[in-house]
Structure 1
Amino acid sequence: MKRILRFLTIFLLSGILLGLGGLLALTLYYRNNFPVNTWINGVYCTGKSIEQVNEELAGAQEESEVSLITIVDADGAGWEIDMRAADIRPDYRDALRAYLKQNASVYWMDNLQEPVSSELAAGKYAVDREKLQTCLEGLPFVEEERKQAEGVRVRKSEEGFVLQDGNADRLNPEKACAYVEECLAKGQTAIDLAAGGCYENLPDSAYDRRQRDIWEQVSAYAERGSRIVYDMGAEQIPLTPAVTSGFLKTERDGCPVLDEEGGVVIDEAMIQAWVEALAADYDTCGREKQFQSTRGDLVTVNYVTYGTKLDVEAEKAYLLEALQNRAGNQAAAPGEAAGTQGAADSDVSDGTEMHVPAYIQKGYVRGLDDIGDTYIEIDMTEQKMYYYAAGELELETDIVTGNTGRRMGTPQGINYIHGKQRNQILRGADYESFVKYWVPVVGNIGIHDASWRGSFGGQIYQTGGSHGCINTPTANMSQLYEMVEVGMPVIMFY
């Protein structure tokens, strides 16, 4: 009996030892291999090593979708590289080791009850350096970088002068490839090359330094010009770099010429041409105008005494002085007809100088349309006179103009009011007439009341018209006299 008990005891102890030994062996086994019923990212991992599972997880990702990394250039633009093309493979080994450390040992027995499914992210990426470099070199911005010439050049463009700086912020392809590889090893898939110091400045040559000196001169010159805005009345014309660049002398390659003192050289002929072009747009003296009449048709009328004429020589002198940054900006303008003295220039808070050009003659309003919306219209065919103020018809009256039958018809043309007088005696070779209101418009011809007339309008002017003046009913003339000002345009036509 004792022998049987001893045998059973030994048998049980042996079984226990064998069981413990097996448990210990499994525990040690699962320290380096995944436990039973383990699934990671949809991959069955039981009994497999970290390297085996890593290969299967990387392969599963490649098969399931096209993965991309994003390269951000110095301008902030993003460029994508296909991981497969660059042979960039996700590396789960660090994550798998952490998983085993947490779930191996005796914890593997928990998996016996039911399967355990987990999701792991790749902690880093393995890279084939040569393939990665090939993919980087194929990106458009890298190709453009290779085409960009080195060195510094000042050149003229349609927008003005530009500095072509081929030495600043140049991409170093070797640094870029190494930095991308470094970031991928840390698990980063959005990589900013500028943040990684992949751009650098190349050293300047003596020629490059000379070009930078020229650029400083051009920039200072352009800044002086940019402060000037021509106030043309209804329109404003800024001296943009595109405009002022045309005033400088340049070499054949477009680089500005510098004088012996290192300053840019202004081409007076180009300034003259620009001011003349400005005058061609705004001058109206001696020209003709298409005028929309009150009666409805478009009539052609010549400017006679009224009109605008820029002082080209004064403006040329002003621009030369302003752009060369000499003291004093406004050249004195010669005397102007019809109250044409220009207003003084004014500076606004941002340093902009609103420059009113000098005029030899200036209209009542300034701008491409120097008639504006306040004027007197005399329609000699309809024998009507209209006064418009700010576009509104303020007065309409019948009139009697010059006697066409006696070849004293009132002349056509665009003139202006150059005076206002009360209680005048008008004298001629065969007449002497007292008028209460006298508004001269051209020569000895003016608008006045005609108390001696009993009727106005119609065809009276053809046989019983005036000596050339515009006869107006006294009551209407009284109103007109109070409303009009010296300098206002008067459009006279048949």
Structure 2
Amino acid sequence: MNKTTKRLLFAVLILLLFLLTVYFVLALYYREGFSLNTWINGVYCTGKTVEEVNSELLSHTEAPDVVIVDKAGEKYTITLADVDYHADFSSALEAYRQEQNPYLWVDNVLFHSRRTLAPVVTVDEEALRRAYNALDFVQTEQKRIKDYSLTRDAEGAYVFTDGLSDRIDLEKAFLALKQIVENGQETLNLQESGCYYEITPDESQKALRNLWKEIERFQTCDIVYCFGEERHPVTAADCAFFLTAENGLPVQDEKGSFVLDEQAVTAYVQSLAEEYDGYGRTRQFHSTRGDVITIDGGTYGSKMDRKKETAYLLEHLLDPGVHTGTPQSHIPSYEREAFCYGKNDIGDTYIEVDMTEQKMYYYEKGVLKLETEIVTGNMRRRMGTPEGVNFVYNKQKNRVLRGPGYASPVKFWMPVKGGIGIHDAGWRKEFGGDIYQTAGSHGCINTPKDKMEELFDCVQIGTPVVMFY
């Protein structure tokens, strides 16, 4: 072996000895801390002690929110900062440090440099329970009736409370919450954690539930009363009111059909009539002159046939065909018909007779079509034209109006109440003013011929005539 080879071998030996010395020096250096190139939860930990790394990890750790999810997907949140949350990575860090072989630090550099560790979490259990008890679902569950019940709501409709389904074992749910908090988890799914009771109803409970299904169907009534443009549906509360009840529950006959309370149905029709009948109603009318007039009486207005409507309901309420969930319009039967129906049955087409101003107006679909001065009944002779909401019940041409001591031919005649009507008065030269006070008519509404002809051509039989002072 020549000198060159010996020198080369000696140099290699010295280098290997140096590298080996460095390797063991590093191994000894990292023996009390974490090995070279160690990362924990994103923190560089090489050479650091457990205490140092724990302190640094805690500086990056905030108290999380824990979310509780129920079967319906509703979420409820507890902020752990409010329950004295504490985290400590020491035991997990020490266990990991013990795993590391300081003499195999090269292996750590190449293969095992990054690790995620979870802390040991502690909270104040009493504070956690208070926060848990304040959650909406917990309070609802604590107040919940633990059975089936059938009661009436504020409007009178039957309502069913299912106190058996989806009942939550609150203590089990709390223990599950405590467990996930201690495990460092942030979501508790109540269903997946088995926090719901499994309850099988008994026979009486099943019978009550089946009764509710029948009531629910019956209370879904399709009948919608139509009063002109207004709609009045038969509500669930109305349907409940129609049922004969004993001990708070509807009565069923031997066939299983509900028994209707005829008096209740009659009272319902009576209330409808009182609300929507126009005949005999006191009305508030916005006059052309600008004020609101209260008008009683008159011949105008609809009057529901109460007997027929009661019979209609008694016949149809037990028919499954009116409990489908699809609204069905129903126009009631009437003893007296009207030009318009509903609470505002005068509508927007009417004749207005202002006897104080001695003016008459005709509105058609809300548009003023005619305005004229008139002469009404003679006040001095106590023949004043009566107030009220009446209607045009006939139209005739070329009539002779007769009464005690007079016979007056007219071209156009529209009676509105008994022998009182609107007509032309060819014998008059002037209209309006205070003529009616001393030289008025026998009670009719005298109108200039040209205006009367125009009005006669426009007005339909049945048109309301609003007459007031």
TM-score (norm 1): 0.76
Q: CA deviation at 1:162?
A: 1.9
Q: Distance between the aligned counterparts of 1:451 and 1:92, measured in 2?
A: 115
- Among 385, 394, 411, the alignment partner of 1:419 is 394
Structure 1 residue aligned with 2:164: 167
Are 2:126 and 1:151 equivalent residues in the alignment? no
Q: CA deviation at 1:232?
A: 2.2
Q: CA deviation at 1:21?
A: 7.7
Q: CA deviation at 1:416?
A: 0.4
Structure 1 residue aligned with 2:23: 23
Letter in 2 for 1:23: Y
Q: Distance between the aligned counterparts of 1:177 and 1:39, measured in 2?
A: 35
Structure 2 residue aligned with 1:337: none
Once the two structures are superposed, what CA deviation does each residue of 1:313-348 show, in whole Å capped at 9, x if it has no partner?
A: 322222333321177x8xxxxxxxxxxxxxxxxx9x
Once the two structures are superposed, what CA deviation does each residue of 1:37-72 show, in whole Å capped at 9, x if it has no partner?
A: 7564557552657xx7886677556xx532332112
- Among 291, 294, 298, the alignment partner of 2:288 is 294
Q: Distance between the aligned counterparts of 1:127 and 1:145, measured in 2?
A: 27
Once the two structures are superposed, what CA deviation does each residue of 1:263-291 show, in whole Å capped at 9, x if it has no partner?
A: 43433333333332222222332233333
Q: Distance between the aligned counterparts of 1:374 and 1:206, measured in 2?
A: 63
Are 2:347 and 1:372 equivalent residues in the alignment? yes
Letter in 2 for 1:322: H
Query: CA 1:128/1:304 → structure 2, altered by over 3 Å: closer, same or farther?
Result: closer
Maintained 8 Å contact 2:67/2:187: yes
Structure 2 residue aligned with 1:340: none
- Among 263, 268, 272, the alignment partner of 1:269 is 263
Maintained 8 Å contact 1:37/1:46: no
Structure 2 residue aligned with 1:138: 133
Q: CA deviation at 1:485?
A: 0.7
Once the two structures are superposed, what CA deviation does each residue of 1:76-100 show, in whole Å capped at 9, x if it has no partner?
A: 1322152765777679679969x96
Structure 2 residue aligned with 1:449: 424
Coordinate RMSD, CA, aligned? 4.3
Are 2:299 and 1:305 equivalent residues in the alignment? yes
Structure 2 residue aligned with 1:204: 201
Are 2:233 and 1:229 equivalent residues in the alignment? no
Q: SS of the counterpart of 2:415?
A: strand
Letter in 2 for 1:46: G
Q: CA deviation at 1:120?
A: 6.1
Query: CA 1:479/1:96 → structure 2, altered by over 3 Å: closer, same or farther?
Result: farther
Number of aligned positions between the proteins: 452
Letter in 1 for 2:235: T
Q: CA deviation at 1:183?
A: 6.2
Identity of aligned residues (%): 39
Structure 1 unaligned residues grouped into runs of 5+: 1-5, 111-117, 330-346
Q: Distance between the aligned counterparts of 2:284 and 2:12, measured in 1?
A: 125
Structure 2 residue aligned with 1:214: 211
Are 2:239 and 1:238 equivalent residues in the alignment? no
Query: CA 1:30/1:325 → structure 2, altered by over 3 Å: closer, same or farther?
Result: farther
Moved more, 351-360 or 456-465: 456-465
Query: CA 1:490/1:300 → structure 2, altered by over 3 Å: closer, same or farther?
Result: same
Are 2:402 and 1:466 equivalent residues in the alignment? no
Q: CA deviation at 1:165?
A: 0.9
Query: CA 1:378/1:35 → structure 2, altered by over 3 Å: closer, same or farther?
Result: same
Structure 2 residue aligned with 1:361: 336
Structure 2 unaligned residues grouped into runs of 5+: 1-5
Q: CA deviation at 1:306?
A: 0.8
Q: CA deviation at 1:32?
A: 11
Query: CA 1:461/1:15 → structure 2, altered by over 3 Å: closer, same or farther?
Result: closer
Structure 2 residue aligned with 1:332: none
- Among 59, 64, 68, the alignment partner of 1:67 is 64
Q: CA deviation at 1:417?
A: 0.4
Q: Distance between the aligned counterparts of 2:128 and 2:373, measured in 1?
A: 90
Q: Distance between the aligned counterparts of 1:100 and 1:439, measured in 2?
A: 113
Structure 2 residue aligned with 1:106: 106
Q: Distance between the aligned counterparts of 2:23 and 2:372, measured in 1?
A: 122
Q: CA deviation at 1:250?
A: 3.9
Q: Where do 1:276-425 residues align within 5 Å? A: 276-325=270-319, 351-425=326-400
